[in-house]
Structure 1
Amino acid sequence: MLKSRDWSPVPWQGADGVILFDGVCVFCSRWVRFVARRDAARRFRFLPIQTEAGRRLAATLGIDPEAPETNAVAVGGRVWFKSDAAIEVTRRLPGWRWTPLARLVPRVVRDRLYDLIARNRYRLFGRSETCMVPGPELSGRLVAGSSDPT
């Protein structure tokens, strides 16, 4: 098995608050809805990796759009991946500010759990044939078609 790349956070000069996610993954789409419902400040926008703009951003970040190993969030001048991305998003949501405590667990351990779920996400939660249909909570928050999130 090939060793995966190091998914440490990287500096970012592009748009803040963009979450890149697997739009055909039921679990990932539920995550997006979870964030959108709690993000009253509308800090986050969502970009399915299956869109033209999503594929471009994935390529920029070193994520294979055909087999994404991670989601990503651009926030605070950095792009965060895997468990770090989830922590960075949730810590900015009301009632979830405690989530940085998860960093007490070493990233290698957190990311192994993340990888276990990610590898089995379609089997455990399902996969749709098309990107999710946005509900009212996502109104105006999906990065449109070919728009550039950077």
Structure 2
Amino acid sequence: MRPKTRLPHSYRADPAVPDFDDRYTVVVMDGDCAICSATARRIARLDRADRIRICTAQSPLGQGLLGHFGLNPDDPDSWLLLENGEARGSLDAMIALFPRLHRGFSPLKLLRVLPIGAQDWLYARIARNRYHFGKTDLCAMPDPELQRRLLP
């Protein structure tokens, strides 16, 4: 699911969104998903420029941001990348983020040739089956690098 298009930084005026340091790129993901937990740890390991912060969809900030952009925190399709005040979701967010973290993810850019509907379909297949890979608590005993990046 794609986030609603809004003016950049519009969430600052939304009382449902707690204040946070938006100088960083923020990724909102499911805190109970084993795939998301592994993804968060990979982001923490690869983000050598220290420009990314991670927030769970279950947190007050995650709930507020997802709601602001018209996404349901309980929907497995809700994966949000917030950068420079603008939101991206689903596979589009991953294509934008991961190739910047490591050139090994550059082939992801090829997925941009797929129509938006096909991208969303592909992401939804993975997201809706994510618990087949297990459940875990993203915030349970994270390593210090991940802990430092977690937003409340």
Same fold (TM over 0.5): yes
Judged with a 3 Å threshold, the aligned counterparts in structure 2 of structure 1 residues 117 and 9 are, in CA distance, closer, same or farther, namely farther
Judged with a 3 Å threshold, the aligned counterparts in structure 2 of structure 1 residues 31 and 10 are, in CA distance, closer, same or farther, namely farther
Quote the Cα distance in structure 1 between the aligned partners of 2:110 and 2:7.
23
| 1:36-47 matched pairs, under 5 angstroms | 36-47=44-55
- Check if 1:12 corresponds to 2:12: no
- The two structures have a TM-score, normalised by structure 2, of 0.79
- Check if 1:132 corresponds to 2:139: yes
Give the aligned residue type for 2:125: L
Give the aligned residue type for 2:86: R
Please list every run of at least 4 consecutive aligned residues from structure 1 whose deviation after the TM superposition is greater than 4 angstroms. 5-11
Q: Structure 1, unaligned stretches of length 5 or more?
A: 145-150
Report deviation, 1:62: 1.5
Judged with a 3 Å threshold, the aligned counterparts in structure 2 of structure 1 residues 76 and 140 are, in CA distance, closer, same or farther, namely same
The residue that corresponds to 2:19 in the other structure is none
Q: State how many pairs are aligned.
A: 138
- The two structures have a TM-score, normalised by structure 1, of 0.79
Quote the Cα distance in structure 2 between the aligned partners of 1:51 and 1:77.
19
Give the aligned residue type for 2:139: M
1:58 to 59, 66, 79: 66
Judged with a 3 Å threshold, the aligned counterparts in structure 2 of structure 1 residues 58 and 77 are, in CA distance, closer, same or farther, namely closer
Q: 3-state SS of the aligned residue for 1:139?
A: helix
Percent identity for Structure 1 against Structure 2: 33
Cα contact 2:34–2:133 (8 A) shared by 1: yes
Judged with a 3 Å threshold, the aligned counterparts in structure 2 of structure 1 residues 75 and 68 are, in CA distance, closer, same or farther, namely same
Q: Structure 2, unaligned stretches of length 5 or more?
A: 13-21
The residue that corresponds to 1:110 in the other structure is 119
Quote the Cα distance in structure 1 between the aligned partners of 2:101 and 2:149.
16
Partner deviation per Cα, 1:55-112 (whole Å, 9 max, x = no partner): 1122112122233422000114420000001011113213234533321122211211
Cα contact 1:22–1:50 (8 A) shared by 2: yes
- Check if 1:74 corresponds to 2:82: yes
Q: 3-state SS of the aligned residue for 2:35?
A: helix
